[in-house]
Amino acid sequence: MDLGKDLVAASATPLVLSILAEGDSYGYAIIKRVTALSGGHVQWTDGMLYPVLHRLERQGHVAARWRASNSGRRRKYYRITRGGRAQLKAQRQQWQVVDNTLRGIWLKARTA
C-alpha cells in the first residue's frame, strides 16, 4: 500500500522535522530513515526531498551546513532549529487531532 500524493506532501514536513529532532542528518540518510520507519510504505521520489528541505531552511525550521564526510566529498547536513522544534510540536498536535478524530469514527463504525 502506497500513500496518496497529497498525504505524502502533507506528511513530509512533520516526518523530516521528527527525524532531524533525533539528530542532525543529510538527505540520503533522511530518506533511508523514512523508508525504514514506515516499513517501506512511505516511498518518496528521492529528489523531491530536497525542495522540502530547502523550504524548511528558508522558513527557519532547519539550518544547513556543509561538512566533509569520510568519503572525502562534502555533504550538506541539516539541523533542526528552535523554531523547527516549535513547528514540530504544533504539527504534532494537529496530526494527533486528525488521528484522534479518525480513530473515534472508525472505532464507532466497528462497534456499531
Partner 1 sequence: MTTPADRLTVEEQIAQWRVYLRRRRAIRGPDVEELEGHLRDQVAVLTDAGLEADEAFLVAVKRMGSLDALSREFAREHSERLWKQLIVAPDDADEAGTSTRAETLVVLGLSVAAALAIKVPVLFGLRIGGGDGPFFARNASLFVLPLLTVYFIWKRGSGGVRDLWLALPFAAAAVFANVFPFHTGSDTEALTALHLPIALWLAVGFAYVGTHWFADGGRMDFVRFSGELGIYYVLIALGGGVLTGFTMMMFRAIEMDAGWLAERWLIPCGAMGAVIVGSWLVEAKQSVVENMAPVLTRLFTPLFTVLLLVFLATLAWTGSPINVEREVLIGFDLLLVLVVGLVLYAVSARDPQAPPDFFDGLQLLLVVSALAVDAVALAAIGARISEFGFTPNRVAAIGENIILLVNLAGSAWLYGRFLRRRAPFRILEQWQVAYLPVYSAWAALVVVMFPPVFGYR
Cell triple for residue 34? 523514512
Side-chain half-sphere exposure of 3, counting CA atoms within 13 A: 18
Measured between alpha carbons, how far is 74 from 69 in angstroms, rounded to an integer?
6
Residue 53 parent element (H or E): helix 49-58
Q: Which stretch binds partner 1 (CB under 8 A): 15-23, 53-61, 87-95, 98-106?
A: 53-61
Q: How many CB atoms lie within 10 A of CB 6?
A: 8
Q: Which stretch binds partner 1 (CB under 8 A): 16-24, 66-74, 79-87, 99-107?
A: 66-74
Q: 5, 23, 36, 73: which one contacts partner 1 (CB under 8 A)?
A: 73
Q: Which stretch binds partner 1 (CB under 8 A): 10-18, 71-79, 80-88, 93-101?
A: 71-79
Residues in contact with partner 1 by the rule CB under 8 A: 26-28, 31, 45-48, 50-51, 54-55, 58, 66, 69, 71, 73-76
